[in-house]
Amino acid sequence: MRRWIQRLLVLLLAAAAAYTIAALILNAVPRDRAVVTEATYGFFACDNGVHVDVALPTIGGGRDWRRVFPVADFAADVAAAPYLSLGWGARGFFAATPSWRDIRPGPVIRALFWLDRSVVHVVYHGDPGGLPHCRRLATDAAGRDRLFAFIDATLDRREGRTVREPLPGYGAHDAFYAAVGRYSLLRTCNVWSAEALRAAGQPTGLWSPFSFQIMANLPQGRRD
């Protein structure tokens, strides 16, 4: 029995090493992206050390996100919040893991192996300018429209409206919404974030499952 446990540990370590090496190699390969011409729409990429959120002006670029994520869905009064952040991930993991100290094997395994539905996590907040973990970005009208279309395509709408998931938020300013797609080892929360940024004409790698990879690919010297 002890020998089998040792073999299993070696196998898991080898798999983790292969995954990390693959991520490092593929992230170094730049993906094709649209050329940004006149950068008229500003937004942010914010890294909490594990996950990158895309932070957008609540109102701007012809979009009022309060029509997509109604303020009535939030415990706090978020009507005047100038920005909102969006991230995509596994529903069960979000529900069971309000903080990293709450991580349990079950939700992690279900998330990594296509066994969990996905949600979009939305947080209304103040201007992230000045925060050391946020990078100020800009795109043109076409990039903005592609970014909006990417987010819209991620949301699982019913009768034309977004669906708030009955999950406890991490505070009074956030909520979860039903989304399409499945979280997995291959399509992590950060892969989704990289896809969103690429839609906006930002530089990304071929595959970026870790947050530090996304931030390393973005224009340098633009952290606020």
Summarised one tens digit per residue, pLDDT across range 42-69 is 999 999 888 899 999 999 999 999 999 9
> CA 44, 49, 51 angle in degrees (round to 5)?
60
Is 44 buried (19+), middle (13-18) or exposed (0-12) by CB count in 10 A? buried
**Rounded Cα gap, residues 89 and 108, in angstroms:** 11
Residue 95 falls inside a structural domain: yes
Has residue 179 been placed in a domain? Answer: yes
Question: According to the model, what pLDDT value does residue 33 have?
Answer: 86
Share of the chain above pLDDT 90, in %: 57
Cβ contacts of residue 96 below 8 Å, gap of 6+?
A: 102, 104, 106, 107
Decide: residue 70, CB within 10 A, 0-12 exposed, 13-18 middle, 19+ buried. middle
Please state the domain count of the chain.
1
In a domain, 139, yes or no: yes
Any idea which residue has 């939030």 for tokens?
74
**What is the model's pTM?**
0.89
Across 28-33, average pLDDT? 82
| In a domain? residue 222 | no
Q: What is the C-alpha to C-alpha distance for residues 198 and 175, in angstroms, rounded to an integer?
A: 25
- What is the pLDDT, as a whole number, of residue 150? 98
Asked whether the predicted pLDDT for residue 100 surpasses 70, the reply is no
> Residue 38 gets which letter from DSSP?
S
Helix 189-199 / helix 141-154 crossing angle, nearest 10 deg:
150
Residue 114 has pLDDT above 60, yes or no: no
Q: pLDDT: is 115 or 140 the higher one?
A: 140
Report which residue type is found at 41.
Y
Question: Per-residue pLDDT tens for 7-23?
Answer: 667 666 776 788 788 78
- Is 224 a member of any domain? no
Question: 114's torsion region: left (phi>0), alpha (psi -120 to 50) or beta?
Answer: left
Can you give the pLDDT at residue 223?
46
Please indicate, yes or no, if residue 12 is contained in any of the structural domains: yes
**Which of 32-46, 142-156, 209-223 shows the lowest per-residue confidence on average (mean pLDDT)?**
209-223
Q: What is the C-alpha to C-alpha distance for residues 94 and 89, in angstroms, rounded to an integer? A: 7
* Cα–Cα distance for residue pair 81/71, rounded to 1 Å: 10
**Over 70: is that where the pLDDT of 105 sits?**
no
* Residue 223 within a domain: no
Residue 190, token pair as written in the block: 């950060």
**Domain range for residue 83?**
2-217
